[in-house]
A and B are shown apart, each in its own frame.
Chain A
Amino acid sequence: QSALTQPPSASGSPGQSITITCTGTSRDVGAYRYVSWYQQHPGKAPKLIISEVSKRPSGVPDRFFGSKSGSTASLTVSGLQAEDEADYYCCSYAGDNNLGVFGSGTKVTVL
């Protein structure tokens, strides 16, 4: 199972919005609504910020928005803040016979 494709980096100024894409195939992202997004600060464990394409767990700011179209999922971060500077990973279910598949990761820089 190949990693989902994410851009290596993204950046924006405080207050701006950025969108990170996560491209898979018809066997994973395109087939299911079980796409999740994780935020990882340096030296820390990842943290769930979006589940099932667009659901925000309790405590996650509504500045984080998830969506999906076809085989591409997207994470939009609006009103960028300094604390949003981190690595972001998507993950998708890929069927009962497979483990989940993560994206390649995107490093977000707040300028």
Chain B
Amino acid sequence: EVQLVESGGGLVQPGGSLRLSCAASGFTLRNYWMGWVRQAPGKGLEWVADIMKDGGTKKYMDSVRGRFTISRDNSKNSVYLQMNSLREEDTAIYYCVRDTDYYIVDQWGQGTLVTVSS
């Protein structure tokens, strides 16, 4: 069974940092692009970042570029999102997703809540 399990969310003050982790199982991670999609409370979905199968190419939404870093370790079946200089507007549920190319997501994690507040 394919599973994506996020961890690392929580409450952080503005300007702080968090590192989200995504543990993948049930499939060969190195065969897929992976990404993070977020959803602010009561709002829609947004692509945050995406990373190529071997980690060679990374893409970011404009508002997080330079603050967030997506990475992966295929040997550990894991994907990460390092979030620095967090802002209140980054408050959202962050979903780890499997991207079957062209931003078609066929697997979603359960999500982890990040709250940025003083």
Chain A positions near chain B (C-beta within 8 angstroms): 3, 32, 34, 36, 38, 45-48, 51-52, 57, 89, 91-93, 97-105
Contact = CB atoms under 8 A, between A and B. Distances in A.
12 contacts: A34-B104, A45-B110, A46-B105, A51-B104, A91-B45, A92-B103, A93-B104, A97-B59, A99-B47, A99-B61, A100-B102, A105-B45
B47 A104 contact: no
B21 to A, nearest CB: 17
Given A45-B111, A99-B60, A89 B44 contact: yes
Contacts, number: 61
Given A34-B104, A45-B108, A102 B59 contact: no
A80 to B, nearest CB: 22
Interface of B: 37, 44-47, 49-50, 59-61, 95, 100, 102-106, 108-111
| Interface of A (DSSP majority class) | loop
Nearest to B43: A105
B106 A102 contact: no
B103 A93 contact: yes
Given A45-B95, A45-B111, A47-B108, A100 B44 contact: no
B47 A100 contact: yes
